[in-house]
Amino acid sequence: MRIVVLPLLLGWTLAIGQTPVVLVVDIDNAVQYRSDVADPTRRGTDESMTTAGAARAFTDVLFVGDIVAVNGKTARGLWTSRQFLMNFNPAPQPGFGVADVNRGTLADCKWEFLDADGQFVGAIMDSGYFPHAVVGGAGAFLGIRGQMSGGTPPNPRPIRVASMAEDPGKRRAIGGGTSRIVFHLLPAFRPEVIAVFDSSFRPITPANPARKGEILIASVTGLGPTRPGTIPAGAEPFTRDPLLEVNSPVEVLVQGRPAEVLNKIGWPGETDVYRVDFRVPDDTVSGPVNLQLTAAWIPGTAMRLPVR
């Protein structure tokens, strides 16, 4: 018994000591399609704006929206949420659910995240009553846990409620509402800098500090899958021919400001070590400065980089 319980307790201790990562996701063109059409041949056929039927208990609805930003950075992607209307309440209106809580729906959400160029980054699934539990992820979010709650979007517009008779291909043309979702996540891995080298592969140290404008080589872990495909890091060694580019958007911050990223590849022969080349900004101050990486909008731990 002790052999089983001790690792569980150790894992729980590590988990509760982990600082959650915040992802703020902005959504546009969001529409709730309400299942109010019994005849399947009429669903999705009306090319004009529709008005949904009355909300009733057990009504099946589907929310659809476009991901447009993550943590203020331009992104793309798809949000869908299948929900059942119940309007639980201790004193419900006739025809709705009685319970000791106030809850409108039971929901299952799917999030597919793309970078600004439309490249797949990863997926997140969450479910339950609000706030939702994050129940899994894929791609850059493999093994992720956490919860999802709401926020106030910029330039808020109500999510439009439409009939399932409406053609969902006209969603963007007809228009919809905005939403903002806040994820508090416990990633299975985060970007961490192992070491930093100059172009001759000499380690950057106080005795060999970086120079302003210099191109440096960072050895990093935790950047996730590489292209092509989304094979999890550690599954197989990175190749030299071809070199495998990191699938996720990677940002290098020097003193909290973005530095130019020249490449982001899996280090040949390694399984979870990556090479990121970046240029030290010309206006960086002299002395020890913070160096931090983010991958798929997830930040790693900052390290001190000596600069002269």
The residue extents of the domains of the chain are 2-186, 192-307
CATH number listed for the domain at residues 192-307: 2.60.40
| pLDDT digit string, tens, across residues 271-281 | 999 999 999 99
What tokens were used for 37?
């059409």
Answer yes or no: is pLDDT of 52 > 60. yes
What tokens were used for 36?
């109010």
Q: Are residues 226 and 265 in contact, defined by beta-carbon separation less than 8 angstroms? A: yes
Which three-class secondary structure state does DSSP give residue 147?
Answer: strand
| pLDDT digit string, tens, across residues 173-189 | 999 999 999 999 999 99
Q: What pTM was estimated for this model as a whole? A: 0.90
Q: Are residues 112 and 70 in contact, defined by beta-carbon separation less than 8 angstroms? A: no
Long-range contact list for 95-99, CB < 8 A, 24+ apart?
95/56, 95/57, 96/57, 97/57
| pLDDT digit string, tens, across residues 189-242 | 999 999 999 999 999 999 999 999 999 999 999 999 998 877 788 889 999 999
**Beta bridge mates, 3:** none
Angle 63-247-233 (CA atoms, 0-180°, nearest 5)? Answer: 105
For residue 259, what pLDDT band results from cuts at 50, 70 and 90?
very high
Per-residue model confidence (pLDDT) at position 3: 34
In whole angstroms, give the CA distance from residue 283 to residue 85. 56
| Residue indicated by tokens 């399947």 | 40
Percent of the chain at pLDDT > 90 equals 86
| pLDDT digit string, tens, across residues 131-140 | 999 999 999 9
- CATH class for the domain made up of 2-186: mainly beta
What tokens were used for 237?
């060694």
| pLDDT digit string, tens, across residues 14-41 | 344 578 999 999 999 999 999 999 999 9
- Torsion, Cα of 136, 138, 144, 148 (10° steps): -60
